[in-house]
Structure 1
Amino acid sequence: MVEQQQFIVIGLGVFGATIARELTRLGHDVLGIDTDAQRVDRMADEITHAVIADVTDESSLVELNAGSYDVAVVAIGRNVEATMLATLQLRELGVEKVWAKALTNQHHRILERLGATRIIAPEYEMGVRISQELNYPMVHDYLSLDDDYFVVEFRATDDLVDKTIGDLVGELDVKPLVAKRHKQAHTNPDHTWTILAGDKLVLSGQLEDLRKLVNNL
C-alpha cells in the first residue's frame, strides 16, 4: 500500500483540479490553492482543503505552512511569473519535490534553475503520446525509462495469433515482462508463450529494437 503523503496543488484550472482530485481519490492529503474564488468553491468538497491565496506573496505560503508538505505541484495556467515565484518560494521553504508546469522551452530552463525537481509540459507530452499512438495503433501505452529505453504495452494483432513470443521477438534485444490474458497478468513469460486473440504484451528494450518489432506487426 502506498504511504499517504501531503500535496499542495497551486492552480485549480482543469489541469490542476484533475491532479488534486485524483490525488485525493488515491488517499492523499491535498491542499488546493487558487486566486479564483469560484474555482476554490468548486473544489472545496472534492479535496482535503481548498483555499484562496496569492502564492506570489511569500507570506501566503508561510501562513499555509507550505514547507511541511511532501510535494508541491505548480499548475498555474498562463502566468509565467507566478509559476517561477511559486517554485522558488516552495524550494526556499524546504519542499523537497516541486513539480512545475512549463509553457515554453525558455520557461522550462528557468524553472530548472529555480530548483523544480520535475517539469511538466502537458501539451507537449500529450502531443507526443498521441502522435505515437496514431503512428502505432496497436500500441496501448508506453513508458520512457531514459532517452533510449522504453517499456511498451501493445495489443496482439490478428497476425500474431497462435505465434509465440519467440516468433515475435526473434533476434531483437527485447525482453517480455508481462503477458495479459483475461484480466490475468503472467509475469516474465518465456519465448514459448503462445499468443492468443485479445492478449496484451508488455515488452522492454532499446527504442530502435522496439521500433523494428512494432514495424513488423
Structure 2
Amino acid sequence: MVGLGKHRLFDEDVLVIGLGRFGAAAALEMDRLGYRVHAIESDGLLAERFSRKLTRVLAVDAADPAQLAEAKPGDFRIAVVGIGSSIEASLLTAGNLVDAGLPSIWAKAVSAEHARLLERIGVHHVIFPEAESGSRVAHLVNDRMQGYIEFEDGYAIVKMTPPQELIGFTLAETDIRKRYGVTVVGVKAPGEDFTHALPETKVGRHHIMIVSGPSKLIEQLAARP
C-alpha cells in the first residue's frame, strides 16, 4: 500500500469520507503527516483517482450502513466526513459513524442548520470549510493541537497541549528550542491569564502552550507522546 514504508509522525489509521476539495485536502495532508488514510468515495472515478495516493479507497456509499460496514468503521478512532453536495448523505453518513461508536467524528457543514443537525446527532466537531480548510483540520484531529496557523513560508504558530516529556520541567531544563527547533511563546492554565514564556517557566499537565517555528518541526513535537 502507498506510503507504508515512510516515517510516520502519527502512526494511526483514520477514515475520510468524501474526496471532494475539502475531504481530499484533509486526506492528503493527513497522509503527509503519516496517518494511514482509509477513504470512502461514492464516485467511482474520483475514488480511482485517489487509490494510489492513500492507504485504501473504497467506492461505496457511506450513507448506506451495509456499504459503510465494508470499511469497518468501528476499527477507527477518528473519522472526517467531507460530504457537502448532499446534506441528507452527510447526515446519514455521520449518523452511521455515531452508531458505530467512533470517539472523534469531524464533519463538514454547509449551513448553520446543517451544523445544528450534525451536532444533534452526535458529531463531535463541526467544520465550516469557509473558515477551516481541509489541510488545517488534518493538523487538529490528533487532539494535541488545538489551533494551527501556517504561513506561506512553512512557518507555523500553534496552540497545543504539552508532550509528557516536558511536564514538570522548566523550559530551560527541557532545552526545547535546541532539541526541537521551536520556540514556546507562552503558556496558559485554565482560569489564569496568558503568560509569556521565560526560561524558568515550568510546564504543567494543565497548561496550553503557544509554540512557533517551522511547521515540520512543530509536527514532530506534536507527535511526541
| Normalised-by-shorter TM-score class | 0.5 to 0.7
How far does residue 175 in structure 1 lie from its aligned partner after superposition? 2.7
Distance in 1 (CA, whole Å) between partners of 2:17 and 2:87 is 13
Are the counterparts in 1 of residues 16 and 38 from structure 2 also a CA contact under 8 Å?
yes
**Which one of 80, 89, 112 corresponds to residue 87 of structure 2?**
80
Deviations 1:113-136 (A, max 9, x none): 11101111121447xxxxxx9xxx
Report the residue type matching 2:52 in the other structure. Answer: D
Are the counterparts in 2 of residues 176 and 202 from structure 1 also a CA contact under 8 Å?
no
How far does residue 103 in structure 1 lie from its aligned partner after superposition? 0.8
What's the counterpart of residue 195 of structure 2?
175
Are the counterparts in 1 of residues 58 and 71 from structure 2 also a CA contact under 8 Å?
no
Deviations 1:4-37 (A, max 9, x none): 1111100101111111111112111111111112
TM-score by length of 1: 0.59
Matches for 1:43-54 after TM superposition, within 5 Å: 43-54=50-61
Report the residue type matching 1:62 in the other structure. Answer: A
How many pairs are equivalent? 147
What's the counterpart of residue 195 of structure 1?
none
What's the counterpart of residue 27 of structure 2?
20
TM-score by length of 2: 0.57
Are the counterparts in 1 of residues 27 and 37 from structure 2 also a CA contact under 8 Å?
yes
Indicate how the Cα distance of structure 1 residues 55 and 202 shifts in structure 2: closer, same or farther if over 3 A, else same.
Answer: closer
Indicate how the Cα distance of structure 1 residues 90 and 41 shifts in structure 2: closer, same or farther if over 3 A, else same.
Answer: same
What's the counterpart of residue 182 of structure 2?
none
Distance in 2 (CA, whole Å) between partners of 1:175 and 1:39 is 48
Q: Which runs of 4+ in 1 moved over 2 A?
A: 140-145, 173-177
Distance in 1 (CA, whole Å) between partners of 2:158 and 2:10 is 23
Q: Does 1:41 align with 2:48?
A: yes
How far does residue 40 in structure 1 lie from its aligned partner after superposition? 0.9
Deviations 1:161-217 (A, max 9, x none): xxxxxxxxxxxx65324xxxxxxxxxx369xxxxxxxxxx979xxxxxxxxxxxxxx
Q: Does 1:5 align with 2:9?
A: no
Are the counterparts in 1 of residues 15 and 76 from structure 2 also a CA contact under 8 Å?
yes
Q: Does 1:29 align with 2:36?
A: yes
In structure 1, the gaps of 5 or more residues are: 127-132, 134-139, 146-172, 178-187, 191-200, 204-217
What's the counterpart of residue 104 of structure 2?
97
SS of the residue 1:122 aligns to: coil
Higher relative contact order, chain-length normalized (CA < 8 Å, sep 6+) = 2
Matches for 1:182-201 after TM superposition, within 5 Å: 188=198
Q: Does 1:58 align with 2:58?
A: no
What's the counterpart of residue 160 of structure 1?
none
Distance in 1 (CA, whole Å) between partners of 2:85 and 2:58 is 20
How far does residue 54 in structure 1 lie from its aligned partner after superposition? 0.5
Indicate how the Cα distance of structure 1 residues 62 and 114 shifts in structure 2: closer, same or farther if over 3 A, else same.
Answer: same
What's the counterpart of residue 76 of structure 2?
69
Distance in 2 (CA, whole Å) between partners of 1:89 and 1:25 is 27
Distance in 1 (CA, whole Å) between partners of 2:14 and 2:34 is 11
Distance in 1 (CA, whole Å) between partners of 2:71 and 2:42 is 14
Indicate how the Cα distance of structure 1 residues 48 and 108 shifts in structure 2: closer, same or farther if over 3 A, else same.
Answer: same
**Which one of 112, 120, 134 corresponds to residue 127 of structure 2?**
120
